[in-house]
Copies of this chain bind each other. A is one copy, B any other.
Amino acid sequence: MINKLMKQIEKLDAPVVVGLDPQLSFIPDFLMKKAFSEKGETLEGAAEALWQFNKVLIDNIWDLIPAVKPQVAMYERFGVPGMVAYQKTIDYCHEKGLVVIGDVKRGDIGSTSAAYADGHLGKVTVGSRVFAPFDEDFATVNPYLGSDGIDPFIKVCQEEKKGIFVLVKTSNPSSGEFQDRVIDGRPLYEWVGEKVAQWGSTCMGDSYSYVGAVVGATYPKMGEVLRQIMPHTLILVPGYGAQGGKASDLAPYFNKDGLGAIVNSSRGIIAAWKKEPYLGRFGEEGFGDAARQATVDMIEDLKTVPKG
């Protein structure tokens, strides 16, 4: 799957992942009304709105980008019906040939991480039958519990040729509270980065590992150091756009081969119709067109990043 992802990035010349992180406030009224008329003002109705919103977005952008990253929290917010919308979104993205990165940030002790790995990336045996439950291609994973929590994911990645992105340095303002604390002369995120490189060396694709890392666009100097610590690691870069990261900040995240990073934008794309410079240009009904234009513009913007 890492090979497929790298090939799609190269083919499209677009190191871009769109975060499918819908909030009800992003969804145009006409679509909310349609969902409520079908399913009522219920959790099912809200979930239907999320799914219908996503479907239009995907229909408008699938050919431009290698991957999507649905943020499961936005679906979990609506309970079990929300998880149905999450599943439909994954399945539909697969139909369109997109790589799906489940932004689940799971992580627990060994046997529990194994259950998460089974459910999100792997398979489960039920009687005489085998199922792939959520079936994302990649999942994001939290490293706080150490190797015990990561190893079960790596095992499933090796079996299924899928991948993970381990949180190393997150994009949020308070990420430094623990991640930047200095241990033996180096910040915690560097130690985590070293572990990611080690974990990754046990499951290499052609040029990059199945074990990637999350490093926020909002910390480019740290990105530069981490790029060196993890030379064969694909870096998933959140924080571009709405969170303040700019194309001019992104050069350090790439390798000399022009690859090595995939940049996420969520509301900058999916809520483009409500924001400048797209506001009013496409109308409510054209929210998918606005998302397409924002995706095109992001891809162009990233072409200005000096790589290598």
Contact = CB atoms under 8 A, between A and B. Distances in A.
A78 B124 contact: yes
18 contacts: A41-B127, A42-B131, A43-B131, A46-B126, A71-B108, A77-B118, A78-B124, A79-B119, A80-B87, A82-B133, A144-B167, A145-B170, A146-B172, A146-B178, A148-B174, A149-B172, A181-B191, A182-B183
Given A76-B133, A143-B178, 8 more contacts: A32-B127, A73-B115, A76-B116, A80-B83, A80-B87, A110-B172, A147-B177, A183-B183
Nearest to A187: B183
Contact of A76 (B77, B115, B147): B115
Interface of A: 21, 23-24, 32, 36, 41-43, 45-46, 71, 73-74, 76-80, 82-84, 87, 105-113, 115-116, 118-120, 124, 126-129, 131, 133-134, 142-149, 167, 170-179, 181-184, 188, 191-192, 195, 238
B188 A77 contact: no
A174 B191 contact: no
B78 A21 contact: no
Given A105-B107, A146-B179, A178-B146, A124 B77 contact: yes
How many identical subunits does the complex contain? 2
Q: Which one of A127, A181, A191 has the highest number of Cβ atoms from chain B below 10 Å of its Cβ? A: A127
A80 B84 contact: yes
B73 A133 contact: no
A87 B76 contact: no
A11 B174 CA distance: 40
B78 A80 contact: no
A129 B41 contact: yes
Given A74-B115, A183-B182, A133 B41 contact: no
Contacts of A178: 143-144, 146, 188, 191-192
Most buried by B among A110, A129, A146, A238: A146
Nearest to A24: B126
Contacts of A105: 106-108, 142
A184 B79 CA distance: 42
Contacts of A170: 109, 144-145
